[in-house]
Structure 1
Amino acid sequence: IDVHGPDAGAFLDRVYINTFSNLAVGKARYGLMLREDGLVYDDGTTSRLAEDHYFLTTTTAKAGPVMQHLEFCRQVLFPQFDVQLTSVSDQWAQFSVAGPKTRDLLGEIVDPAEDLSNEGFPFMGARQVALRGGIRARLFRISFSGEMAFEISVPARYGDALVRNLMIAGKQFGATPYGTEALGVMRIEKGHVAGPELNGTTTAADLGLGKMMSTKKDFVGRVMAGREALVAPDRQVVVGIKPTDRARRLRSGAHVIPKGEIPGSANDQGYVTSVCFSPTLDQWIGLALVERGRERIGEIVRAHDPLRSEDYDVELCNPVFYDPDGGRQRG
């Protein structure tokens, strides 16, 4: 979604919990927006391409609803702002290029005059670049997979040609297409929340993103997010989870029950939201929403799955399983 106008930054400050009016031109920032009831609505990255021009991305499933939400905010809640919104999903073809040899591959596509070094194009950078042959493209150094990654965007009519040339240029580097299953594994390894955690019942704090909530401005959902039930200390929050038996398969939907307790609604303390087998860690891992989960890191609990008649021990752990300092995506 393109956000244009002299009040574009001020408008985004009202719809996101964090601040975008102070984002430097040529930079991107992760953003989180709430519903009016204070629960998380959507997340994504927003890049500032010019003083009065931002480029906003949404989750795939919420592209349409977020556009409607933003238009409602623009027309009804904040009509005083001079800002225009345009859906440009069909205008751009955008591809993620991820992995340790990303710069080498992009160097074969992007004009040699462009500086793609860590100093010249740092993490969360965003700007227009020239491709070999003169076509202008947008390049964003953002990563959902936790690896070194860029996203490259060209006008839609060049999309087919770009992806074919990326594969040709990438052959020498072992480039291969990767799908949502692989991406899902990598995001769980990094503790990145997605649809199963942004399920319409979670707050920013539940997701570990409470510190993003600005205390210096107003935004949609700010007041309602402070309701007693939404800040209660026993809320279910996102934690990592892994079977104590490394050979054991972890399944999404299993209920978290205190060890030694009889499974039932009285003892249900949460559930497993996302799982995968991690080739990096050579075991099943997952994310879960668990009561007071962050206080209980290291605790052994039971995963109870009545649908599959399974019951086994799991450990609550830090949701960032791999590269916790983020060195791979910032290097």
Structure 2
Amino acid sequence: DAGAFLDRVYINTFSNLAVGKARYGLMLREDGIVYDDGTTSRLAEDHYFLTTTTAKAGLVMQHLEFCRQVLFPELDVQLTSVSDQWAQFSIAGPKTRDLLKEIVDPAEDLSNEGFPFMGAREVALRAGIKARLFRISFSGEMAFEISVPARYGEAMARNLMIAGKPFGVTPYGTEALGVMRVEKGHVAGPELSGTTTAADLGLGKMMSTKKDFIGRVMAGREALVAPNRQVVVGIKPVDKARRLRSGAHIIPKGETPGPGNDQGYVTSVCFSPTLDQWIGLGLVERGRERIGEIVHAHDPLRGEDYDVELCNPVFYDPDGGRQRG
């Protein structure tokens, strides 16, 4: 009953996910507020592999166990945390396939047709061991995530660097990943603040209308579907040389900053080397209806005031061609 169990936990459907495919999922608290997100891959008819946010991994495991033991005890499902059993590496960039071909058995088809976006399956490596390969991308670039048993983690890291040297491979950390996710408008912890709904994050269409799930009824409360809710939107300074700061409050242009006209705030910022300016994401009242509007950013902590433009949260490659190529 693994698929049926996931259908009750996530707002979207996983029982119809094909074996060998992955899907992004969102789970709510009982009050209808977003709890966590991540990708789920179907490795076999009765075998799913879930990922969560780093901060919520332990809490999500507790939540799933509570659901299994207390809410849905009639379902035949077992949960096992395998975080310590696998070493998983994200390989991102236009030369990802070239690098993987040096690691993966030549018989494995890594082409776009043979291994499309959101594919997931076990593959053989040249080293003679099996690995799990997922074509998922948080960076917005062409990317795969390769997972090997933990005892091979150090060897895999070393082999990736050696095999990738001709392609200019370099390690990248959470700081670089944070920049790329803001450029792509991917929500993370600052947007999953414990006050946002799926619709606030621009993910309302994921919510199934054909099944019940935790938080579905409460997500329809009047206050959670009000038209003036703060929703995720892109933000960029009018002056491209200006630094954008997270935490700055959004005020209508020409208005005096104060609680009465505070319309939201900047949640995440970064300097984008691709766009050569500071950009960010924010939660702003009716933000999606106000794309192109110039508003005021007020930062009382740093004593800064400047104009910003509300824009599409996807700053880079809006059609997703790079990650699907």
1:99 and 2:103 equivalent? no
Equivalent residue in structure 1 for 2:31, among 33, 37, 41: 37
CA–CA separation in structure 2 for the residues paired with 1:209 and 1:222: 14
CA–CA separation in structure 1 for the residues paired with 2:216 and 2:66: 17
Could you report, residue by residue, the CA deviation over 1:52-98 in whole angstroms, capped at 9, with x for unpaired residues? 00000000000000000000000111111000000000000000000
CA–CA separation in structure 1 for the residues paired with 2:193 and 2:120: 29
CA–CA separation in structure 1 for the residues paired with 2:149 and 2:71: 33
Q: Which runs of 5+ in 1 are unaligned?
A: 1-6
Equivalent residue in structure 2 for 1:139, among 129, 133, 151: 133
Identity %: 92
CA–CA separation in structure 2 for the residues paired with 1:264 and 1:134: 64
Give the Å deviation of 1:327. Answer: 0.1
CA–CA separation in structure 2 for the residues paired with 1:134 and 1:282: 44
Give the Å deviation of 1:273. Answer: 0.1
CA–CA separation in structure 2 for the residues paired with 1:262 and 1:301: 12
1:176 and 2:170 equivalent? yes
CA–CA separation in structure 2 for the residues paired with 1:36 and 1:87: 23
CA–CA separation in structure 2 for the residues paired with 1:112 and 1:172: 18
Give the match's secondary structure for 1:266: helix
Give the match's secondary structure for 1:286: strand
Residue matched to 2:323? 329
CA–CA separation in structure 2 for the residues paired with 1:133 and 1:155: 13
CA–CA separation in structure 2 for the residues paired with 1:206 and 1:155: 38
CA–CA separation in structure 2 for the residues paired with 1:324 and 1:132: 36
Could you report, residue by residue, the CA deviation over 1:7-27 in whole angstroms, capped at 9, with x for unpaired residues? 000000000000000000000
Equivalent residue in structure 2 for 1:53, among 43, 47, 58: 47
CA–CA separation in structure 1 for the residues paired with 2:286 and 2:64: 33
1:268 and 2:245 equivalent? no
Give the Å deviation of 1:192. Answer: 0.1
Give the match's secondary structure for 2:75: coil
Give the match's secondary structure for 1:84: coil
CA–CA separation in structure 2 for the residues paired with 1:142 and 1:120: 15
Equivalent residues, number: 325
Could you report, residue by residue, the CA deviation over 1:241-275 in whole angstroms, capped at 9, with x for unpaired residues? 00000000000000000001110000000000000
CA–CA separation in structure 1 for the residues paired with 2:300 and 2:277: 22
Could you report, residue by residue, the CA deviation over 1:141-196 in whole angstroms, capped at 9, with x for unpaired residues? 00000000000000000000001000000000000000101000000000000000
Could you report, residue by residue, the CA deviation over 1:206-226 in whole angstroms, capped at 9, with x for unpaired residues? 000000000000000000000
Could you report, residue by residue, the CA deviation over 1:111-157 in whole angstroms, capped at 9, with x for unpaired residues? 00000000000000000000003200000000000000000000000
Residue matched to 1:207? 201
Give the match's secondary structure for 2:56: helix
CA–CA separation in structure 2 for the residues paired with 1:53 and 1:142: 18
Residue matched to 1:4? none
Structure-to-structure mapping, 1:157-306, within 5 angstroms? 157-306=151-300
CA–CA separation in structure 2 for the residues paired with 1:118 and 1:282: 31
CA–CA separation in structure 2 for the residues paired with 1:194 and 1:288: 12
